Amino acid sequence: MTSLDEIQWKSPEWIQQFGLHTGNVLDYFTELPFFDRTSNNQVLKMQFQFQPVPNYNLQNKLSEMVGVEFIIAFIKEPNFWIIRKQQRINPSTVIPKQDYYIIGANIYQSPKIHDILSSRLLASVLSMKNSIDLLNEISNYNIMDGGHQYNKSSSITNTNTPTSVTTTSETPVTTNNLEEISSNTFDNLLKSVVNSNNDSIYLDDLPMYGKNSTVDQLNLKLNL
């Protein structure tokens, strides 16, 4: 079953016969699937079916009753009205239930704030997820490689605007002539610490330079 907030309803035949104005917009609304046949408006309609009731008299009659009612909440003639469904508790207390708006001959149910926020938040979360997936595709993290590395083949191009491609030669980047360290070297360093008789030694306690330092045990040559 289609949700009521997804329905657009109109009756060209009714408009052609009676026209549409503030005096009969509630009568037009009674033809809708949105209308509650158990409302006080329907009760008054059955009571005064053989005589027209002016809109201000209808409002006064509704204020004397208790239950569901429909009123004109906003008027902007010639082609815009807001109809409000509300629960009347007493002549001075009502609880709004739902709003409907009429544009020309078309009638729509207003979406609820909860539905609007849920839709917007869902769209935001999906966009964030797509962004995170894109970032994960263009970069990866490996401690052996020294941190994040970016995939050069992953790029974002604008398909609408033609761009010129310039070919440039790539020069390998050197980092102070540091030698590439194999994973076996790190494993040997870790085993030497684990197998040590001194339980108080941690990797963080090993000096960076000098004798028995990390650099010394890895057999690295640095240009300092």
Domain count for the chain: 2
Are 191 and 96 members of one domain?
A: no
Q: In 3D, which of 73, 72, 75 has the Cα closest to residue 27?
A: 72
CB 44 within 8 A of CB 30: no
- Whether 122 is covered by a domain: the verdict is no
User: Does 194 score more than 70 pLDDT?
Assistant: no
- The mean per-residue pLDDT over the stretch 10-30 comes to 89
pLDDT-based confidence at residue 105 (cuts at 50, 70, 90): confident
Are 98 and 183 members of one domain?
A: no
In this predicted structure, what is the pLDDT of residue 86?
Answer: 94
* Structural domain boundaries enclosing 54: 4-114
- Residue 194: what residue type? V
Last residue of a domain, one of 76, 98, 114: 114
Last residue of a domain, one of 67, 91, 114: 114
Separation CA 170–CA 175 (nearest Å): 16
Q: What is the pLDDT of residues 130-188, one digit of tens each?
A: 888 787 777 777 777 667 676 665 444 444 545 444 444 444 444 444 444 555 655 66
pTM for this predicted structure: 0.52
Question: In sequence order, what DSSP letters do the residues of 30-61 get, joined into one string?
Answer: TTSTT--TTSHHHHHHHHTTTS---HHHHHHH
> C-alpha angle 175/178/183, rounded to 5°?
120
Which has the higher per-residue pLDDT, 159 or 213? 213
- Whether 119 is covered by a domain: the verdict is no
- Whether 137 is covered by a domain: the verdict is no
Are 32 and 105 members of one domain?
A: yes
Separation CA 13–CA 85 (nearest Å): 25
Are 12 and 109 members of one domain?
A: yes
Which has the higher per-residue pLDDT, 118 or 188? 118
- Whether 158 is covered by a domain: the verdict is no
Are 17 and 107 members of one domain?
A: yes
Are 103 and 187 members of one domain?
A: no
Cα–Cα distance list, 20 to 4, 33, 58, 72, 103 (Å): 22, 18, 18, 14, 11
Are 109 and 9 members of one domain?
A: yes
Query: Of the ranges 15-19, 79-83, 93-97, 191-195, which one carries the lowest mean pLDDT score?
Result: 191-195
Are 95 and 189 members of one domain?
A: no
User: Does 205 score more than 90 pLDDT?
Assistant: no
Separation CA 84–CA 143 (nearest Å): 63
